[in-house]
C-alpha cells in the first residue's frame, strides 16, 4: 500500500498541472471508485464540472484538491485515497483509456492547456469523493500543499505526519507514554501519527534499534526522540528517491516507479544479513502483515 512518500510524490506531481485548472468534464466509468462519496456518479460529476482547483493538499496518505467556492457550494474538495493499488495519472487530453481506469477528470489549465487526470485502480480499494471542508482542530494549515486551516471531513480524524511543520513532538511523546500496545502498532495508528505504514515502520524501528513488539509506554523520552528522528530520516530519503516500488502498481503521475526499495535495510529482507551486525534478519507475523527486524540489534524489552 502506498505510504507517505509515495502519496507525496503523487501530490507534488499533480500540483503544477491542477492548481488553477478548471474541471471541464467528469467521466465515471466504475462507481466502485466512489465508495466514500455521498451520492452516485451523477452527483459526483455534477459537483465537480465547472469547478476550479485551488490547491493540491495531503495529510498522511490522503490527498485532496480544494475547490473554489461558487454561489451554491463552498468549502469543498475532491478527496482521494489510493488504497492498495490506486493511481492518479496525468495524461494528454483525449488519451486512450488506461488499464483499470475508473474515473477521468478533463481539466483546462490557463498555462498548460487541456489535460486529463485519470484515477486507475486495479483492486478497487481506492476511492475519490467530493467532501466538505472542516476546520483543522489545531488551527494550523490542513496539510502539505495548502495554507487553509481546513481538512475534508473524511480526513479530520487523521493525525499530522512527522514531516508536517505543525506536527507536535510533545503530543506524540505523550500519546506513546499512554499506550501499552506494541510500538509498531502505534506507528501504524493513523490517529496518532499518519503516513507511516508497514515498510517505513520496519525501517525506522531497525534504525532505532527498537523491537517492533516493545510496549510503547516502555520507551524513554530519549528513545522516542531517536525513533522520531529515524522516521523522519527514512521518509525524507524515500521522498528523495521517489518512494518504494515492488511492482507496477505504485507509480507517480507520469507512470514512473520509485526506487527506494533498493535502499531498504530490514523490510522484505528475511534471511539476509543485517547491514549492521550481520545476523540474519527475521520475519514475524504482525496484525495480518509481517514485521522484519534483527533479533540481535533489536532486542525486546517487553
Spell out the domain ranges in the chain.
4-155, 169-293
Q: Where are the alpha helices (DSSP H) in 151-263?
A: 169-177, 183-187, 198-208, 221-240
Q: Catalytic: 2?
A: yes
Per-residue cell: 125: 480499494
Q: CB within 8 A of 129, min separation 6: which ones?
A: 34, 36, 37, 38, 44, 78, 79, 154
Q: Which of 11, 61, 102, 269 is catalytic?
A: 61
Per-residue cell: 31: 462507481
- Residue 24 CB: number of other CB atoms within 10 A? 16
Binding site feature residues: 100, 123, 179
Report the distance separating Cα 46 and Cα 274, nearest Å: 54
Q: Catalytic: 232?
A: no
3-state secondary structure 46-97: HHHCCCEECCCEEECCEEEEEECCCCCCCCEEEEEECCCCEEEEEEECCCCC
Q: Which residue, chain included where needed, has cell 523520552? A: 221
Report the distance separating Cα 88 and Cα 106, nearest Å: 13
Can you say whether the dihedral through the CA atoms of 104, 144, 260, 300 is positive or negative? Answer: negative
What is the number of residues in the chain? Answer: 302
Q: Which CATH number fits domain 4-155: 3.20.190.10, 3.40.630.30, 3.30.450.20, 3.40.1410.10?
A: 3.20.190.10
- Fold identical between 4-155 and 169-293? no
Residues 186, 179 contacting (CB under 8 angstroms): yes
Per-residue cell: 14: 499533480
Spatial strand order of the sheet with 127-135 comes to 57-59, 62-66, 76-81, 127-135, 150-152
- Residue 171 CB: number of other CB atoms within 10 A? 14
Binding site feature residues for DNA: 100, 123, 179
Note the pTM of the prediction, 2 decimals. 0.88
CATH class of 169-293: mainly alpha
Q: Which of 16, 289, 295, 296 is catalytic?
A: 289
Q: Which of 2, 5, 162, 212 is catalytic?
A: 2
Q: Catalytic: 184?
A: no
> Residue 27 carries which DSSP code?
E
Rg of the chain over all Cα atoms, to the nearest angstrom: 20
Report the distance separating Cα 283 and Cα 202, nearest Å: 10
Give pLDDT tens digits along the chain (302 positions): 677 888 898 999 999 999 999 999 999 999 999 999 999 999 999 999 999 999 999 999 899 999 998 555 659 999 999 988 888 999 999 999 999 999 999 999 999 999 999 999 988 899 999 999 999 989 999 999 999 999 999 999 999 999 999 999 999 999 999 999 999 999 999 999 999 989 899 999 999 999 999 999 999 999 999 999 999 999 998 888 765 543 444 444 454 444 355 578 999 899 999 999 999 999 998 877 899 999 999 987 65
Q: Catalytic: 289?
A: yes
> Residue 257 carries which DSSP code?
P
Q: Which of 3, 203, 213, 230 is catalytic?
A: 3
- pLDDT of the residue at 261: 56
- Residue 101 CB: number of other CB atoms within 10 A? 20
Amino acid at each position: 500500500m502506498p505510504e507517505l512518500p509515495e502519496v507525496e510524490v503523487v501530490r507534488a506531481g499533480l500540483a503544477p498541472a491542477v492548481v488553477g485548472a478548471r474541471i471541464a468534464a467528469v467521466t465515471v466509468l466504475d462507481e466502485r471508485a466512489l465508495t466514500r462519496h455521498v451520492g452516485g456518479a451523477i452527483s459526483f460529476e455534477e459537483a465537480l464540472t465547472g469547478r476550479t482547483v485551488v490547491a493540491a493538499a495531503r495529510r498522511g496518505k490522503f490527498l485532496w484538491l480544494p475547490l473554489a467556492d461558487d454561489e451554491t457550494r463552498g468549502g469543498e474538495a475532491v478527496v482521494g485515497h489510493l488504497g492498495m493499488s490506486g493511481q492518479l495519472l496525468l495524461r494528454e487530453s483525449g488519451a486512450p483509456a488506461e488499464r483499470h481506469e475508473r474515473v477521468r477528470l478533463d481539466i483546462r489549465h490557463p498555462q498548460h492547456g487541456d489535460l486529463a487526470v485519470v484515477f486507475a485502480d486495479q483492486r478497487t480499494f481506492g476511492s475519490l469523493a467530493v467532501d466538505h471542508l472542516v476546520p483543522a482542530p489545531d488551527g494550523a494549515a490542513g496539510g502539505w500543499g495548502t495554507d487553509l486551516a481546513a481538512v475534508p471531513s473524511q480526513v479530520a480524524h487523521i493525525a499530522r505526519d512527522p514531516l508536517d511543520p505543525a506536527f507536535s513532538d510533545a503530543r506524540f511523546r505523550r500519546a506513546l507514554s499512554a499506550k501499552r500496545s506494541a510500538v509498531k502498532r502505534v506507528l501504524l495508528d493513523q490517529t496518532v501519527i499518519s503516513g507511516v505504514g508497514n515498510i517505513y515502520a520496519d525501517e525506522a524501528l531497525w534504525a532505532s534499534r527498537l523491537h517492533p513488539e516493545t510496549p510503547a509506554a516502555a520507551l524513554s523520552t530519549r528513545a522516542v526522540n531517536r525513533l522520531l528522528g529515524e522516521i523522519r530520516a527514512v521518509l525524507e530519503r524515500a521522498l528523495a528517491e521517489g518512494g518504494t516500488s515492488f511492482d507496477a502498481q505504485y507509480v507517480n503521475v507520469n507512470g514512473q516507479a520509485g526506487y527506494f526499495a533498493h535502499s531498504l535495510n530490514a523490510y522484505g529482507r528475511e534471511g539476509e544479513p543485517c547491514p549492521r551486525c550481520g545476523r540474519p534478519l527475521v520475519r514475524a507475523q504482525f496484525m495480518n502483515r509481517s514485521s522484519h527486524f534483527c533479533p540481535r540489534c533489536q532486542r525486546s524489552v517487553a
